[in-house]
Amino acid sequence: MSDDAGFICPRCGDHHAELPLGYSIAAPDIWEPRFETDRDSTLSSDQCVIRGQHFFIRGLIELPVIGGEDVFSWGVWVSLSKDNFARALEMWNTEGREAEKPYFGWLSTELALYSESTTDLKTNAHTRPVGSRPFIELEPTDHPLAVEQRTGITYDRVREIAAAVLHPA
């Protein structure tokens, strides 16, 4: 890549000053604004509970960028069982938490850039050191997102994603 971190957007034709290496989703797919007043629901930057029945954590699906040392990240939500969510909360600020076994979950974020739905893909959430979001490992299927996680993406693909996110159809 050149020293210019920006890119010419194929959708608008403008030069964007930066090529973002990640995007984050604010809430799980099933979150609705009306839950903000529900005492059994909460949404923070890292955890979500809906009606005291659905439990989520935010983590990162990381895609290695081919031809460099960069990593592209999708900040996504994963549903966990009540017990795994309780354990994740218990360990949230505990040094050494990265030794925890992964928590099984279901991807609860629709990434519309993919031809196949991303919601409900099987995942494992790997806890990392305090202050770092969990690494979300997708089940190794032939889903395009899972393939990208295993094989990496090019900088052209990063630019394609940036254009689609900046200028949704």
pLDDT value at 151 more than 60: yes
147 contact partners, CB below 8 Å, separation of at least 6: none
pLDDT value at 93 more than 80: yes
Q: Using 50, 70 and 90 to split pLDDT, how confident is the model at 4?
A: low
pLDDT, position 14: 77
Q: What is the pTM of this model?
A: 0.91
pLDDT, position 166: 79
pLDDT digits (tens, 9 = 90+) for 12-53: 777 777 888 999 999 999 999 999 999 999 999 999 999 999
CB 50 within 8 A of CB 41: yes
Q: What is d(CA 12, CA 156) in angstroms, rounded to the nearest whole number?
A: 16
pLDDT digits (tens, 9 = 90+) for 125-134: 999 999 999 9
* Radius of gyration of the chain measured on its C-alpha atoms: 17
Q: Per-residue b/e over 15-32, b at no fewer than 16 CB within 10 Å?
A: ebeebbbbbebebbbebe
pLDDT value at 3 more than 50: no
169 contact partners, CB below 8 Å, separation of at least 6: none
- Segment 109-125 shows an average pLDDT of 96
